[in-house]
Chain A
């Protein structure tokens, strides 16, 4: 029994030690310059969208997110889904938010801009562009791990 105990204990400790070293490397890889850069760009992109959305929606205004492009809906949810007042039903929304994806340009978030459509007096559609933040470069931002 002593021999078996020695073997079991040794195997367990060696395996744990080896995996611990490997695990330590995996954690260390999170600190690479590329990881830091990608995370910073990703964070800046969504903060930019958030700021632009704030420039377009007054507190309490009901909002619907345009569902023309599913990927854009997800992006908008990630950017400002936590604070917008979702309209129910959508037809009663005061503001329709969508994203305009284009080439890199001043005033855009990696080429993307938040666009608000409202219906003014007399049924006139008013389209406004988000302001207040920009991130230079071309999107989309580097994809974080799923």
Chain B
């Protein structure tokens, strides 16, 4: 079996595991396609945690969890048929023709851009950490339970990162077991495609941002047009597609060579960016919330920095949902976000708690003040600064946008920018905090890792820039009346030729919108 064919088989196996839960929670949307293998990799990660906790082969756990998840979904569909995919995505209006076209075109454009970005796979690179950890541990995960515990504990094995979250290595282990091809190269290509899926989801979020903005703009009757039904303007939809494609290419530059050499940094960074895009920057509904929930799990189960960031994102996502529901509202309205957050925290905490419990190498963080917190903090700030120059662009753009375009942003249904900035700050603190409180010599540590551990804040800043680009073009779009049967309104395509409606729209997402 060739590497390419084995990778395809592996992605199909992962997708099969994620199929039913994703369709049940996200619905039949374009974004569900790249989300399937990511959800499957979450199942693989949890299967590894189950295997380490209770014994049993990884593949048995993987299949068992996938089947159990599917059965649970079917039971829910039987008990509550209104939650089935046949009723359409919850909270989403049926798109108009051009909105559907924009979605399809945007998805295809993102897929093509992602494929173009993956051309680095032509070079058969297996990264240093990939070979030493990410595509080495899968072999452990496929050994017997007793031997796996030895592998994770044995002090002579010196690799202190053995206790790192399991998702990447688990996905590779499933790939190896399903295909029978136990090579580092298959591991790298599988991880690279999962990276591309995470990138694709984050980019499709921007496509959806533009599509949803167009629909929302058309919902507001123009004061000049009265209650005449409005056609979604094309401008925001085109902007969403263009910005999404550009962001894919930008992300390729930020994450290479690690996007295609088996490292775990890109997948957690891109998943976190996607979670913010769907959970904090987009309009709130069950479908977008489900996408964000899956991506949070991907980020948190992939790497320690991703875990810290994911836990913070859980809090932010729940806070936004609760804020939208209203604390003074019916308790059932905020019970769901709180329960979802609690389940996510439990799933995310399972692996690190387990590693502590079994005494795995590297499970205990070694805090140090050997170089002094001030000195380490200074070194971290100076080390990271050259990689964060995008903030010089993103901060003023967000300030100007926040001051002048907030009305447009709310009307377009785009979340308050502060949420995304909070998420970015959390990512910076997570990475910086790990460096400051870690035990390694700070200067060489930063020099050897800073370009990849800053991927998340850099990408997040670019996504913020992209969101403001879409919002700005929303401000220039003017919905036109839908052509009436007698055809006397002369409405054609929407245009970019007029100012946005002046009427103040009600905030769509509560206090922080």
Contact = CB atoms under 8 A, between A and B. Distances in A.
Contacts of A5: 404-405, 408, 472-473, 475-476, 500
Interface in A38-71: 38-40, 42-43, 46, 64-65, 67, 70
A26 B242 contact: no
B58 to A, nearest CB: 14
B136 interface: yes
B132 A74 contact: yes
Interface in B387-427: 390, 393, 397, 400-401, 404-405, 407-408
B249 A24 contact: yes
Contact of A86 (B135, B157, B257): B157
B120 A46 contact: no
Interface stretch (B38-46, B88-96, B123-131, B299-307): B123-131
Given A25-B253, A26-B253, A1 B405 contact: yes
A25 B120 CA distance: 11
Contacts of B247: 16, 20
B136 A43 contact: no
Contacts of B499: 1-2
Given A12-B472, A31-B122, A65 B143 contact: no
B469 A13 contact: yes
Contacts of A81: 132, 136, 139, 157, 159
B243 to A, nearest CB: 6
B131 A78 contact: yes
A23 interface: yes
Contacts of B261: 144-145
A19 B483 CA distance: 40
Contacts of A145: 127-128, 257-258, 261
B138 interface: yes
Contacts of A7: 400
Contacts of B509: none
Given A1-B500, A12-B466, A67-B156, A23 B125 contact: no
A104 B135 CA distance: 28
A17 B468 CA distance: 14
Query: For this complex, into which size category does the number of interface residues on chain B fall?
Result: 35 or more
A40 B253 CA distance: 23
Contacts of A27: 116-117, 119-120, 252-253, 256
A29 B122 CA distance: 11
B469 A35 contact: no
A4 B250 contact: no
Contacts of A70: 158
Contact of B123 (A4, A15, A36, A65): A36
Given A26-B252, A82-B139, A90-B156, A143 B243 contact: no
Given A8-B400, A25-B253, A35 B139 contact: no
B262 to A, nearest CB: 10
B231 interface: no
B74 interface: no
A22 interface: yes
Interface string B90-117: 0000000000000000000000000011
Given A8-B472, A26-B252, A146-B129, 15 more contacts: A5-B405, A5-B408, A7-B400, A8-B469, A9-B472, A16-B243, A16-B462, A19-B390, A20-B253, A23-B253, A23-B254, A83-B139, A85-B143, A144-B126, A144-B128
Interface of A: 1-2, 4-9, 11-13, 15-17, 19-31, 35-36, 38-40, 42-43, 46, 64-65, 67, 70, 73-74, 77-78, 81-83, 85-88, 90, 143-146
19 contacts: A1-B404, A1-B499, A4-B472, A12-B243, A16-B250, A20-B253, A23-B256, A24-B253, A30-B123, A30-B256, A35-B125, A42-B126, A81-B157, A83-B139, A86-B154, A88-B154, A144-B126, A144-B261, A145-B257
